[in-house]
Amino acid sequence: MATTERKPLLLDFEKPLIELESRIDQIRELAAENGVDVSEDIRQLEARAMQLRQEIFSSLSPSQKLQLARHPRRPSTLDYIQAISDEWMELHGDRRGTDDPALVGGVAKLAGRAVVMVGHQKGRDTKDNIARNFGMASPGGYRKAIRLMEHANRFGMPILTFIDTPGALPTAEAEYKGAGEAIAYNLREMFRFEVPIICTVIGEGGSGGALGIGVGDRLLMFEHSVYTVATPEACAAILWKDAAKASQAAVALKITAPDLKNLGILDQILSEPSGGAHSDPLGAATILKQALIENLEALLQTSGQERRKMRYQKFRKLGVFTDLP
């Protein structure tokens, strides 16, 4: 029964590993039924499974990392918040008549310190995804986010944002209600806040929808997450008029954590449990919590004005290049 349930969520490159693990389970069950000692064989197969897992997940292509970033079982913003916070109270509404479920936020305590947490929220299944617009926030969502962040700045609470969206809601209604203005307003306001801001890409960070809560003192990113100006499918459709070339676009866009670290965009890569964050959500949450606490402690050593200046300089340096003769 368990194997049947996992098939729809199984990625192609995971199949050899899952088949080997399934074989190990079958041998263990048969041995137990027949009273046969196969412990040595099991140890060898488990060692092979561990080696295979390391081989697979250490050599993923950008398009494969994109699949992992979009994995339905990958921990979401609310999963991480509930795992890392001592207390959590979700707050609702943008005070203009809407409460976007694709972008959640509230007040929490991290290691005893009051903070405000904000992030994109995808669904677990089709029905939930439709309700949450697949994590694509509307203008009201970004207005809710900035309302909570202004509250944090007013009361001296650090801001932690969690990025996981293919982009802002791409509908005519969203444009009519000022999607571009809402995101631009957030970008401007996040630069002026004096409290520490730490942004973490936990899954898929796409386009202005990600940037709407992505201006911070530190940018962290899980190793199998992606961060890009446009989805590879959209890029391929625009440049080559062929969405089937998304894998080629994923390489050209430099969407992976190592690429972004080399470009100076990313501050820290967070390792994931063997097999990806979805294989051990609590393990991934522990890694995230430790990184947030360490970065927050470092940022709190500087004054609010210093953080504002460094944040501004951080983003001014992005995109700088040198022409070679």
Per-residue pLDDT, 3: 38
| pLDDT, position 324 | 67
Does the pLDDT of residue 259 top 90, yes or no? yes
The chain-wide mean pLDDT, for the chain, equals 90
Q: pLDDT by residue (tens digit) across 41-84?
A: 778 877 887 777 777 787 788 989 999 999 989 999 999 999 99
5 pLDDT exceeds 50? no
In a domain, 2, yes or no: no
Q: What pLDDT does 13 receive? A: 77
Q: What percent of the chain has pLDDT over 70?
A: 96
Same domain? 264 vs 281: yes
Q: What is the mean pLDDT of residues 231-255?
A: 90
d(CA 190, CA 266): 18
Confidence of residue 15 (pLDDT cuts 50, 70, 90): confident
Q: Would the pLDDT of 4 be above 60?
A: no
Q: Are residues 46 and 70 in the same domain?
A: no
292 within a domain of the structure (yes/no):
yes
One domain, residues 121 and 198: yes
Q: Residue 262 sits in which domain range?
A: 66-316
Q: Are 148 and 81 in contact (CB under 8 A)?
A: no
Find tokens 């446009």 and name the residue: 230
Q: SS3 sequence, 191-250? A: HHCCCCEEEEEEEEEEHHHHHCCCCCCEEEEECCCEEECCCHHHHHHHHCCCHHHHHHHH
Asked if pLDDT for residue 1 goes beyond 70, the answer is no
Question: Around Cβ 133, how many Cβ atoms within 10 Å?
Answer: 24
> Pairing mode, if any, of strands 103-110 and 159-165?
unpaired
Q: What is the largest CA-CA distance in the chain?
A: 73
If asked whether residues 34 and 95 sit together in one domain, one would say: no
**Does residue 181 belong to any structural domain of this protein?**
yes
Mean pLDDT of 13-22: 76
Report strand pairing: 113-120 vs 103-110. antiparallel
Residue 291 and residue 212 share a domain: yes
Once rounded to an integer, what is the mean pLDDT over residues 15-34?
77
- Spatial contact of 310 and 302, defined as CB atoms under 8 Å apart: yes
Residue 207 has pLDDT above 50, yes or no: yes
88 and 35 in a common domain? no
Query: pLDDT tens for residues 151-197?
Result: 999 999 999 999 999 999 999 999 999 999 999 999 999 999 999 99
The residue out of 43, 59, 75 marking a domain boundary is: 59
Same domain, residue pair 17 and 104:
no
91 and 48 within one domain: no
Residue 323 is assigned to a structural domain of this protein: no
Task: Tell me the pTM.
Answer: 0.88
Number of domains in the chain: 2
> How many alpha carbons fall within 13 Å on the CB side of residue 233?
5
Residue with tokens 């039924």: 33
Q: Where are the alpha helices (DSSP H) in 58-118?
A: 62-69, 77-84
- Whether 115 and 223 share a structural domain: yes
**Do 160 and 23 belong together in one domain?**
no
Mean pLDDT of 294-307: 96
Q: Indicate whether 35 pLDDT > 70.
A: yes
CA distance 62 to 252: 9
- Quick one: 79 and 31 in the same domain? no
Interval 236-240 mean pLDDT:
91
